[in-house]
Amino acid sequence: MTRIVTRSYENYSDAETAVVRLEAAGLPSEDITILSNSPDRIAADAARGAEVGGAVGSGAGLLAGLAALPIPGVGPVLAAGWIFGTLAVGATAGAAAGSLIGAMTGAGIGDDDAHFLAETVRRGGAVVSVRTSDSHAPAVEKIMDGAGPIDAAQRRSEYEREGWTNFDERAEPYRRPAWSEVS
């Protein structure tokens, strides 16, 4: 039976570490997805005049296929993988399938988790999701946990203390409060 293992990360770099380790362990790129709200990385690549996928993922594997995609409520997102395919088709067609929640739930991620993960991406984080067999899931989890994912329960509590209830694709892209900026 196929199982979906998903972790959220503070930033693109941590998620990239997870993807590199997953591929090094032999997981096929087509079974891995990465989604990241990384405006600095997108802007840097655009400034160099390069395709995001070619500039960001300068090697073989999933990261070589990264592309920027505008997501309602988030803004530009770096994405690659099987969930990205659903997003890209929906975004091109202007369909509901192009929503981040629709893509995640359509991929088998529960609605409650999809809202949390989408909000994490909206706030500048990253998500890695892997399709794997039940028997390989513990090894995949260990690899993903070794890349330093955020504590989802703690982060969800933080969001809720701020008044968050669920991801709203009609919202403006998230801007961190000035007081939370680290110099």
The residue whose two tokens read 């998903």 is: 6
Torsional sign, CA 42, 57, 13, 114: positive
Q: Which domain holds residue 52?
A: 2-161
Task: Tell me whether residue 67 is in a domain.
Answer: yes
The per-residue pLDDT for range 118-135, each reduced to its tens digit, is 999 999 999 999 999 999
pLDDT for residue 125: 93
pLDDT for residue 76: 80
Structural domain total, the chain = 1
The residue whose two tokens read 């390069």 is: 50
Task: Tell me whether residue 183 is in a domain.
Answer: no
Q: Residue 165, SS3?
A: coil
Task: Tell me whether residue 52 is in a domain.
Answer: yes
pLDDT at 98 over 60: no
The per-residue pLDDT for range 24-80, each reduced to its tens digit, is 999 999 999 999 987 666 555 544 444 444 444 444 578 877 877 778 888 788 888
The per-residue pLDDT for range 15-25, each reduced to its tens digit, is 999 999 999 99
The residue whose two tokens read 């994912």 is: 149
